[in-house]
């Protein structure tokens, strides 16, 4: 049973979907596409993204991981001088929608269980809303959520609390009875700023030492949510 909580708001990348498995290979391909195989441009782009091209992995704490698509475009603009920031942002939105998402755990049975317990579910991501909907649809979980927003949905971006506050307001929930679940400090700071409980998961790039001080609990992944919720009375 959900105990005292009535709403769960999930981050997408690194929370519903394993970050490394979903995005590291995609980033490698993106860099190759944008730099057309020119090594000096490739290296400059990888540095800007804080991405290890040879290891095919982002560095922990990379702004390109937790930031919005607009922020990612602004990071890339200095190393793509023939592209405008707006053009890069539009390109990234289209490209991100095609990325193959790898669930952090079997999602359909987990979300069905949470919904059966009467919980309202939402997604708040610093990705574009259109890409988020594509990813959720691809995982066959789009209809499991009552609320889906991205950085471009009109509520601001994490770590600001606007997305989280709008979740509670839209679904007529008490923020104190809601939980923000995420893999980054952006997620946890946003949730706390909106007056929510916060749950950290370790399916992103941050570790428990970094996330722990900002979370009510640190879980290995979201499959452990029902067990934790059962203790919340």
198 three-class SS: strand
pTM of the model: 0.91
Do 215 and 123 have their domain in common? yes
Do 75 and 126 have their domain in common? no
Q: Measuring CA to CA, which residue among 165, 159, 155 is closest to residue 190?
A: 159
Residue 77: which domain range? 20-97
The pLDDT value given to residue 65: 82
Long-range residue pairs from 208-211, CB within 8 A, at least 24 positions apart, any chain: 210/185, 211/183, 211/184, 211/185
Choosing from 40, 70, 97, the residue where a domain stops is 97
Mean pLDDT, contiguous 10-residue spans, the chain (233 residues): 80 96 90 87 92 91 84 92 94 91 97 97 96 96 98 96 98 97 97 98 95 97 96 85
C-alpha 223/C-alpha 73 separation (Å) is: 33
The pLDDT value given to residue 19: 92
**CATH number, residue 119:** 3.40.50.1000
The pLDDT value given to residue 222: 98
Number of compact structural domains in the chain = 2
Instruction: Please report the beta strands in 46-140, taking only residues with DSSP state E, as ranges in sequence order.
Output: 51-52, 57-58, 120-124
Q: How far is CA 66 from the centre of its chain?
A: 7
Do 29 and 106 have their domain in common? no
Choosing from 31, 62, 97, the residue where a domain stops is 97
Choosing from 70, 97, 124, the residue where a domain stops is 97
Q: Measuring CA to CA, which residue among 105, 104, 126, 146 is closest to residue 14?
A: 104
Q: Residue 45 falls within a domain, yes or no?
A: yes
The pLDDT value given to residue 3: 57
């Amino acid at each position: 049973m959900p105990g005292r909580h009535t709403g769960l708001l999930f981050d997408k990348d690194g929370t519903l979907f394993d970050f490394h498995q979903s995005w590291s290979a995609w980033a490698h391909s993106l860099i190759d596409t944008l730099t057309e195989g020119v090594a000096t441009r490739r290296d400059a782009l990888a540095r800007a993204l804080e991405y290890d091209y040879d290891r095919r992995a982002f560095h922990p704490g990379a702004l390109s991981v937790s930031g919005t698509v607009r922020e990612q475009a602004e990071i890339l603009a200095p190393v793509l001088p023939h592209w405008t920031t707006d053009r890069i942002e539009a390109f990234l939105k289209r490209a991100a929608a095609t990325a193959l998402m790898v669930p952090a755990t079997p999602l359909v049975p987990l979300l069905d269980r949470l919904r059966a317990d009467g919980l309202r579910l939402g997604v708040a991501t610093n990705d574009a809303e259109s890409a988020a909907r594509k990813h959720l649809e691809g995982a066959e979980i789009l209809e499991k959520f009552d609320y889906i927003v991205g950085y471009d949905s009109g509520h601001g971006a994490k770590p600001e609390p606007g997305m989280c506050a709008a979740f509670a307001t839209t679904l007529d929930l008490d923020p104190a009875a809601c939980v923000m679940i995420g893999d980054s400090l952006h997620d946890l700071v946003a949730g706390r700023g909106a007056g929510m409980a916060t749950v950290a998961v370790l399916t992103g790039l941050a570790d428990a030492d970094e996330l722990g001080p900002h979370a009510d609990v640190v879980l290995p992944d979201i499959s452990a949510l029902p067990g934790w919720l059962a203790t919340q009375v």
